[in-house]
Amino acid sequence: MNLKLVDKYLVRQFVLSIFFGIMTFTLIFIVIDMMENLDDFIDQNVPKEIIFQYYVYFVPEIIRLITPVAILLACLFTVGKLNNYSELTALKSSGMSLFRFMMPFLIVGFILSLVAIYFTAWVVPYSNKQKVYIEQFHMKKNLVYAGTNLFFQDSQDKIINISYFDEYSKSASRTGILFLDKSEMTHVRKKIECEQLKWDPVKNEWIAVKVIERTFLSDSTDSVKGYDTLRINYLNFKPEDILLKQKRVEELNITELVQVINDQKKSGNDVTKLLIDLHSIFSFSFASFIVVLFGVPLSVDRRRGGMAFQFGANLFFTFIYLGFMKISQSFGKNGLLDPLLTAWFANMVFLALAVINILRVRK
């Protein structure tokens, strides 16, 4: 038997099944979402071309979410087709083992997992950013005015409040800096207020204009100083960091997410949730490989039920897997599990179940 020819045949059937599965689920998602947003499109008179752009940018997020389901069902349909035409029986009769039969599926699953890492880390955040822009600008949903009323912690003992930030001039208007007492974090020891905070790209530091510096000597006594300009070189953030702090996690690519995590660590903030989101980029991408390990042996085993039973079983285990991943993330975000373990816990559990299932089917 020409194994290379068999491998090409299996890969072609498997990839086509995945493609049609993704297309079908994407179309279903779009139709459902369009029905939910139809009133918003009509009320805001959103042009047709903008609606088209909205769903073009929505597609990558849909693909990211439904790819594991599409792959698992593709395992079922590919193996089911082989069974219907007795091709699987012929392959078994030729001496092909279960491991050898699974190899083309595993290779495709592994390649898709690697592609999914790049897709999730770069393509999906960009498309989400554009989708959110359309929602805010054209549909008037989830409105957040970027650069206004910013409040964040710059370091463990410094809190920044910016009324308005102009990203073009790289300057902040009506800015306040609170200095906390490190020995008693609820006590403010100094406060700086300025009309404008400008960025000096040459010296990489901020210049405060029309400054009032108030130092609290005791609960009832303070000293006040005024400056026309004051150079501030002890702040950790730069102009490009300010708007980055306002982005949602789903809008951050992996480089921006790592930068936000490092900034939050410097500020002394808890980064557990952000670390889980970072590790989940890799763990969820490898869900495609895990479901192949689980789905192919389950589809090969015809000892229990027919196609309908296997379809239901595959779908059941897929949603159990995704639900298990969400539950483990909840434990991790509450500090009960390490962020790395949280992200990979579902994969490890279902990898163990997949190995057990493979050994069971071989008998």
| DSSP letters for 186-241 | EEEEEEEEEEEEEEETTTTEEEEEEEEEEEE-SSS-EEEEEEEEEEE------HHH
Check residue 119 and give its pLDDT: 96
Backbone angles phi, psi at 183, to 5 degrees: -80, -20
DSSP 150-166: EEEEEETTEEEEEEEEE
Check residue 282 and give its pLDDT: 95
Check residue 340 and give its pLDDT: 92
Average pLDDT, the chain: 87
> Would you place residue 63 in the very low, low, confident or very high pLDDT band (cuts 50, 70, 90)?
very high
Check residue 157 and give its pLDDT: 86
Helix (H) / strand (E) containing 77: helix 48-84
What average pLDDT does the segment 254-265 reach?
A: 88
Is the pLDDT at 2 greater than 70? The verdict is no
Higher pLDDT, 256 or 316: 256
Check residue 266 and give its pLDDT: 76
Task: Please identify which residue in the block is written with the tokens 């989708």.
Answer: 131
Integer angstrom CA distances of residue 353 from 87, 231, 358: 27, 61, 9
The CB-based long-range contact list for 136-145 (8 Å cut-off, 24+ gap) reads: 138/44, 138/46, 138/50, 138/54, 139/37, 139/40, 139/41, 139/44, 139/46, 140/40, 140/44, 141/40, 144/246
The rounded distance, in Å, linking the Cα atoms of 227 and 310 is 75
Is the pLDDT at 56 greater than 90? The verdict is yes
C-alpha dihedral (9, 10, 15, 17), degrees to nearest 10 = 110
Coil, strand or helix: which one is 243?
helix
Residue 345: other Cβ atoms inside 10 A: 20
The arrangement of secondary structure in 148-237, i.e. its CATH architecture, is: Roll (2.30)
Q: For the segment 285-333, what is each residue's pLDDT rounded down to a tens digit?
A: 999 999 899 888 888 876 555 666 767 777 777 778 878 888 888 888 8
The rounded distance, in Å, linking the Cα atoms of 180 and 170 is 26
What average pLDDT does the segment 259-266 reach?
A: 84
Higher pLDDT, 146 or 182: 182
Vertex 61 angle, CA 59 and 65, to 5°: 115
Residues of the chain with CATH 2.30.30: 148-237
Q: For the segment 212-255, what is each residue's pLDDT rounded down to a tens digit?
A: 999 988 777 889 999 999 999 989 888 888 877 777 888 899 99
Which tokens belong to 31?
A: 């139709």
What average pLDDT does the segment 153-176 reach?
A: 86
Q: For the segment 189-207, what is each residue's pLDDT rounded down to a tens digit?
A: 899 999 999 999 999 999 9
Q: For the segment 113-143, what is each residue's pLDDT rounded down to a tens digit?
A: 999 999 999 999 999 999 988 988 888 776 5
What average pLDDT does the segment 59-86 reach?
A: 89
The answer for residues whose C-beta is within 8 angstroms of residue 23's C-beta and 6 or more apart is none
Check residue 74 and give its pLDDT: 92
Length of the chain: 363
